[in-house]
Amino acid sequence: MTYQVLVDYGWGIDPVHTKYLVLEFNQDSIVTKADLLEWKRQ
């Protein structure tokens, strides 16, 4: 499952900074892994 945490467009229409929370679950719906993925345009 992925949740969008942040999208920053700066002054344009294209994103310049994004963050996503990625959760993985087992068969019993228990979170087994959590990652925060971040991207910034350079």
Interval 1-42: pLDDT, tens: 999 999 999 999 999 999 999 999 999 999 999 999 999 998
Q: What pLDDT is attached to residue 42?
A: 85
Q: Cα separation of 41 and 29, whole Å? A: 35
Q: For the chain, how many structural domains are there in total?
A: 1
Contact 37, 19 (CB under 8 A): yes
Q: What pLDDT is attached to residue 2?
A: 97
Residue 32 belongs to what domain range? 2-40
pTM for the model stands at 0.79
Q: What pLDDT is attached to residue 37?
A: 98
